[in-house]
Every structure is written in structure tokens, then in C-alpha cells.
Amino acid sequence: MHKDQHSRRKFIQSLGMLTIGFSMSGVVSSRLRADTTLDPSAPDTQNARLDPKAIDSWLTIREDGRVTIRTGKMELGQGITTAIAQVAAEELNMDIAAIDVHLAETEYTPNEGYTAGSMSIQSSAMSVRKAAASARERLLDLAAQELALAKGSLELQDGLVQGGGKSISIYALLKGKQFAASISSDVPLYATSRRKIVGQSIARMDIKHILTGEPHFIHDLRFPEMVHARIVRPPAHGAKLLAIDDRAIAQLPGLAKLVRVGSLVAVIAEDEYKSITLSEAVAPHLTWKFEKALPVGELLRDHIRSLPTDSKTDKQSEGWSDQVISDSVVRHQASYFKPYIMHAANGPSCAIARYTDGKLSVWTHSQGVYPLRGAIAGLLGLKEELIHIKGVPGAGCYGHNGADDVAAEAALLAMEFPDRHIRLQWMREEENAWEPYGTAMAMELEAALDREGRIQGWKYDLWSDDHGVRPGGDADNLLPAWYIEKGHGAAKSGFRGGATRNAEPYYIIPHMHLRSHIFRGPLRRSSLRGLGAYANVFAIEAFMDELAEKAAADPIEFRLNHLRDSRATDCLRMLQREVRKVNCHDGEGIGVAFARYKNAAAYCAIAAHVSVDSRKGNVTVHKLWAVVDAGEVINPDGLKNQIEGGMVQSISWGLMEEVNFDDTHVTNLTWASYPILRFQEAPAIQIDIIDRPHEAPLGAGEAAQGPATAALVNAIYRAAGIRVRELPIIKALRVTGVGDRSSISHENPINFGQFIFCI
């Protein structure tokens, strides 16, 4: 896929032709400032006890008439800050500019767990909607009493309740007190009766801060007399520190303190550059013990299937028998594989911590401030009430990367070096080497077709490490816990549902057998965007295309014949109309795929138009289309951004991303050795949204991951007659001594005649 890279001059020149979107939070960033205030963006009122059923836990009316909305979710680039402001402004009938959104922070915002699973709109935004609507009705009730008017004659608008020639501000109505009222579950919603702000493409609140260079990310935050730290990493996971040359290290200039806790070693300095050079200078004076334990010299897909597994039948239809397939007219079988892949966050993980007067404060881009607080409490032996954690946006990441680890490390160092703010930022090599990856997975499918070309039997086996190994209040899942030697064990297991997510096809299949085999793999793993859904949908949708060929059916029609959900068929029909307009040349093809994320969230149908240079093994992705049904759409542009970002990330994963390692450690530690999709390789993208204002909003942040890669491999087959079943695609296409030929099926190019797909 990679072409000759642009020179610096060409890159700068090309910026005039590129639109580059950065997705972060703005409300918090606009208030970051270099002072020692614990919480520079705190609302006026701090709730000691946050009751999710109470209006006051979600919003505060301020004296200046502005409204602070609290959410336990973090801004990860998904635009939740703007979407939440929209639903609140709608229900309070206010200008959105008068709404401030306060992101996740212990003691200030509700405990909403993790920002994960495409649940922010479904959970937090809908909670804010009901809280704001309940607040509005409560204010109208109070105004009716205060003004001696009928409630029905009053209107709340822009912070004033007016009617009968009288008016009163909403702050005056509360007389400086809280609402002291519960959220009503049946409160009327303006979003269904008026819908002036919701459903509009409101500009992102945070973009102006990014474009103007204001302090915005955790990386930008500075405090007076702040010191900088770096961890001196061991040569391998699980290594133990045997010896340290204290005398030699003591001679190093500029060292404020050398911290050693068990096998964890760090340096602290007044200057960040000095902390970097000190960490490099200290490293040669440490002696480690470690094993060469990683499996090299064998194919990873074979290795993970050879490991001991916790196997379980997850679904088996009544009357299932292997004879359903063995006795069928048409049988087909195929195996698929996905390697370990990185989060590859553009900004390395970063955190700031300060321990003073027996209390610990942490600033972090963790996706779950409350679970992280519990984990850090266990790590350090502190009571949770002595730990305050404030969420500050990081440089974008969907999933569990190093944010929790670096926060825990900064907290540990703050305990060792009290009364100063300690800033700890990982380096690129650390981020690539020590983050939890998206796990490798193997999928094996077998199916039977009847004489009419319909699927009668479906057998699916998947091999996966567990996903979702976040701290969750457990110190054992924090990286520093493995090295401080205070009785913490290895990382706990995640949840099986992460591996089986979307493993059951959304299609109507009479006889089905689904079995999962959970192993403990060689590399650290956790949540990465979509979890197991990415690999499962890739395998299922590639296999559906193969079955369509066996049935001599159009790939879209074949899918439609196995669907009864009209919302799913609407997506595919709209996609079908779009791709029919495309004329392909030799060596080009169009592939499609469909999935409903988690079989309960957003519907997403995707098509890819590619060309393949079979001689060189190069793939060019010309255009991607998506049709999405996410129910009620809060912000159309925000939804499109989510789907577009998911599609680009997915084709990057599918084309080229793979974690490599030797017998001790991960080896692709830089962007050169871990390539991701580059600007000049990004395709044109078209996204169509089916807005259903009277349906519940559905999570969409992870809907595009699986279908995009599946559409890509299906398009490659139509362009070159090569069926890729093992990722990454480029490695499979360029079969060399490193590649594995069994991952590619060279079949005769197909001619669908009247079908819409070109070859």
C-alpha cells in the first residue's frame, strides 16, 4: 500500500488540499490554566454524594444564568461534549452557548463507569436529557407559584421564565439552592415535540481551542514548580530488577530523585528534556533478570490455537447436528485470522499527579475516572476518598491504551516525591511496547446451503484471548502493579462477551452452532475499538460473500434474502443504489459488508471500491460508502465523523497493521516499523444517514470497524480474484518467506453478469 513518501516540502504544499479533523473536548480545555487549583473547571456546587436519580447530580444553574451539565463520560474525540450540550439546550430551551459540560471527575460528576461500548449517547446523553427536562418542569412549577400564574401559561427560554407580562430568572427561582428533586422518567421531551437543536450539525465546541493553540489536552497542562518524570523500562514484560548501581547514578547531574519501588525505576527532574536524558543514562546501570518467553519461529495463528482454552458453546439451535451441514447439497468451509494490533494513539499517554497533606490528585485521560480511582487506591494502599481524579482529554484513543497505567505510575511517583506536581509522559517507543493490544483472533466457519441457495446450517468456532482487561477498580490490571512487588498478581481476565461480540450473525439461519475458545496469549491485551466484533464481522461478512458465490447470487441480494429487519434492509438497499452508479475498470472491484453492532446498536452497511496491482501486491482504496441507521440522530455531522473515522481506522488495521515481536519483546516501536494509513492513502468517503427521530438513539462509534475491513477484502476478490482470509492484507498479498500462502485462496475471477460488482 505504501508509496514513496512525500518530502517535507511536498507535505507542506499538500496541506492546502487536505482537511484534517481533530476530535477532542473543548469545555475543559478552555479552562486549563497554570495554577495550583485542584479543579480549574469545577462547577459552583460540589455534591458530596452523587445520586444518579437526582437532578442536582447532573446539572447546576449558576448565578450568571449559565448551566453546567455533568457527565461521567470522557471526551475521546467522539463529540460527546457537543452532543450532551445539544440535548440539554433542547430541553432547557436555551442557547447552546450558555451550556458548559463538565467531563468525568470524581466527586463532581456521576459515576458512569467507562466511556466504552458506544454507550455515551445511549446512556449519558439520555440521562442528561431526562435530567434537563425534569429541571425545566421543576422550574416551571416553581415559577407558577412565585408568579401566581398557571404553569401552562409560562414559557422557559434562555434562562428566563416568562408569562402574563411577568418574568423571573431560573437562578432567582432556586434562590441559590439546589433542585432537591428527582428525575422523572415520564417527563415530556422537547426533542420529540420541538426538535430545534437536536438533529442539527452543531459545530464541535472544542475545535476552536485546538485550532487556536489553546491549552487543551492533558499534554498541555502545566502547573507552577511542576517536575517531570520518566520510567526506566525493563527489557521485557515480567523482568525483575536484580541490581542497581546507585553510586554511578548519584553522579548524574540534574537528578532530583531516583525512585525505585521493587522493579519499577523512575527518574525525576526539573526539566522534561533532562528527565529523558537521565532515563537513558540510568538504563545501563540496571541489571535485569528475564526469560525469552515469546513464541517465535511458528505462525501466530497456529500458536494461539495450540494454547489451552476455556471452551464454551455460546449458542446452539434446537435440533442442531453436524449432519445439518454434512448432508447438505452445498457445503463451504473457511478459516480467518486477525493478528495483534495496536491502539496507535497519536499522542503518547500522559498524566499529572500531586500528593500533599495526605491527599492525592491525578489528572488523566483515562476512560473511567472512578474505576481508576479504585485501582490506584488498591495499588497505593490509600482510601478512595483521599484520591481525586480529574478527566482531561488526551490525543484520542478508542479503547484501553496506556492512560490508566501512566496515571497509576504518576500517582506512585507523587507519593515518593510529595508536594510537587509530577508530569509523566510516555515516549512513542513506550506506547508501542507497553500498551495493552487488541488481541489476535482465529475464526473457523462452515455452512450449508439448500437447493434455493439459502443458508440452512452455520457452524462457527472462534479463538480469542479475552477483551476488556481494564483496571475496573483492580490494581492487578495496572502495569506498575506487576513491578512494585507488593503482592499484586498478574492481570485478571476480562469478559468473555468481548470475544463473542457479533459472533452470532444478524441473519436468519435455521440451524446454528457457535463455540468460543478463550486462551491466554503471549502479549498483553485489553479493549480496542469494537473488541471481538471487528474480527467476527470481518470473518462472517467475508464468508457471506463466499456463500453468495456458491449460491450464484448477488452479494447484496444474498444478504437481503437472509434478513427480516426492515431497518437492516433499508441500509443495504440504499447502499445498493449508490454502488450501482460506479463503473469499474480492469483490476478494480467493489465489495460490500453489513453488520449491526452488538446485534443491538447501530446498523451499518459499507462498500469499498479498490484496485489491485497483483504483481506488486499493492491495494488502492478509491472510495468507501456507508449507510448508517443509528436511530435518533443528535448531531448528524458528529455521527458522520464517527463512522468516517471508524472506516479509515478499520482499513488501516486490515491493510497493514500487525504487532511483531521477538523472543522477549515487541519490536515495532516506531511509526516506521508500525505503519498506519497515511494522508495520501486516505480514500474518498461518502456517508448517508437514515435519521429516525422517533426511535431510540443507538451507539455508533464502533459500528464501522468490522464491515469496513470485510468490504475491503470482498472488493479485493472482485478486483483480482484473490480471497484474503488472513490479516493484514498487504502481507498476505505480498506472499514472501514471511507470509503464509494458505491465507490466500487464488480462485478463478468471477463474473456476476447482471450483478452490480465489477471485476
Is 90 exceeded by the pLDDT of residue 664? yes
What is residue 16's predicted lDDT score, i.e. its pLDDT?
37
468, part of any domain: no
What is residue 742's predicted lDDT score, i.e. its pLDDT?
38
CA torsion sign, 345 to 346 to 349 to 353?
Answer: negative
pLDDT in tens, 228-252: 999 999 999 889 999 999 999 999 9
The b/e string for 573-588 (b: 16+ C-beta within 10 A; e otherwise) is ebbbebbeebebeeeb
Task: Tell me: do 424 and 374 sit in the same domain.
Answer: yes
Is 80 exceeded by the pLDDT of residue 650? yes
Taking the C-alpha atoms of residue 267 and residue 551, their distance in angstroms, rounded to an integer, is 64
Enter the C-alpha cell of residue 320: 442442531
Enter the C-alpha cell of residue 709: 475491513
| The domain boundary residue, chosen from 413, 434, 455 | 434
Taking the C-alpha atoms of residue 61 and residue 56, their distance in angstroms, rounded to an integer, is 9
Number of domains comprising the chain: 3
What is residue 49's predicted lDDT score, i.e. its pLDDT?
64
Enter the C-alpha cell of residue 397: 484513543
Taking the C-alpha atoms of residue 628 and residue 688, their distance in angstroms, rounded to an integer, is 6
301, part of any domain: no
**Could you tell me the residue range of the domain that residue 287 belongs to?**
218-291+343-434
759, part of any domain: no
Q: Which of 112-116, 149-153, 431-435, 561-565 has the lowest mean pLDDT?
A: 112-116
Enter the C-alpha cell of residue 492: 485478571
Q: How far is CA 291 from CA 288, 318, 482, 663, in A?
A: 10, 49, 15, 9
Residues 170-178: contacts with CB under 8 Å, at least 24 apart? 170/61, 170/65, 170/139, 171/61, 171/62, 171/63, 171/64, 171/65, 173/139, 173/142, 173/143, 173/146, 174/61, 174/139, 174/142, 176/63, 178/45, 178/56, 178/60
Task: Tell me: do 116 and 251 sit in the same domain.
Answer: no
Is 50 exceeded by the pLDDT of residue 45? no
Taking the C-alpha atoms of residue 206 and residue 22, their distance in angstroms, rounded to an integer, is 9
Q: Cα–Cα–Cα angle for 384, 389, 395, nearest 5°?
A: 145
Task: Tell me: do 202 and 223 sit in the same domain.
Answer: no
Task: Tell me: do 424 and 552 sit in the same domain.
Answer: no
| The domain boundary residue, chosen from 190, 211, 232 | 211
Task: Tell me: do 143 and 272 sit in the same domain.
Answer: no
Here the CATH number for the domain that contains residue 369 is 3.30.365.10
Task: Tell me: do 369 and 396 sit in the same domain.
Answer: yes
Task: Tell me: do 228 and 185 sit in the same domain.
Answer: no
- Among residues 193, 202, 203, the alpha carbon closest in space to that of 693 is found at 193
HEC states along 139-204? HHHHHHHHHCCCHHHCEEECCEEEECCEEEEHHHHHCCCCCCCECCCCCCCHHHHCCCCCCCCCCC
pLDDT in tens, 703-744: 999 999 999 999 999 999 999 999 999 999 876 322 333 344
Beta strands in 646-719 (DSSP E): 684-689
Task: Tell me: do 686 and 589 sit in the same domain.
Answer: yes
What's the burial of 383, exposed, middle or buried (CB within 10 Å: 0-12/13-18/19+)?
exposed
630, part of any domain: yes
Task: Tell me: do 203 and 256 sit in the same domain.
Answer: no
756, part of any domain: no
pLDDT in tens, 384-434: 999 999 999 997 788 999 999 999 999 999 999 999 999 999 999 999 999
Task: Tell me: do 37 and 58 sit in the same domain.
Answer: yes
Taking the C-alpha atoms of residue 110 and residue 699, their distance in angstroms, rounded to an integer, is 20
Task: Tell me: do 180 and 231 sit in the same domain.
Answer: no
Task: Tell me: do 201 and 138 sit in the same domain.
Answer: yes
What is residue 735's predicted lDDT score, i.e. its pLDDT?
60
| The domain boundary residue, chosen from 211, 232, 262 | 211
Q: What single-letter amino acid sits at 624?
A: L
Taking the C-alpha atoms of residue 239 and residue 232, their distance in angstroms, rounded to an integer, is 12
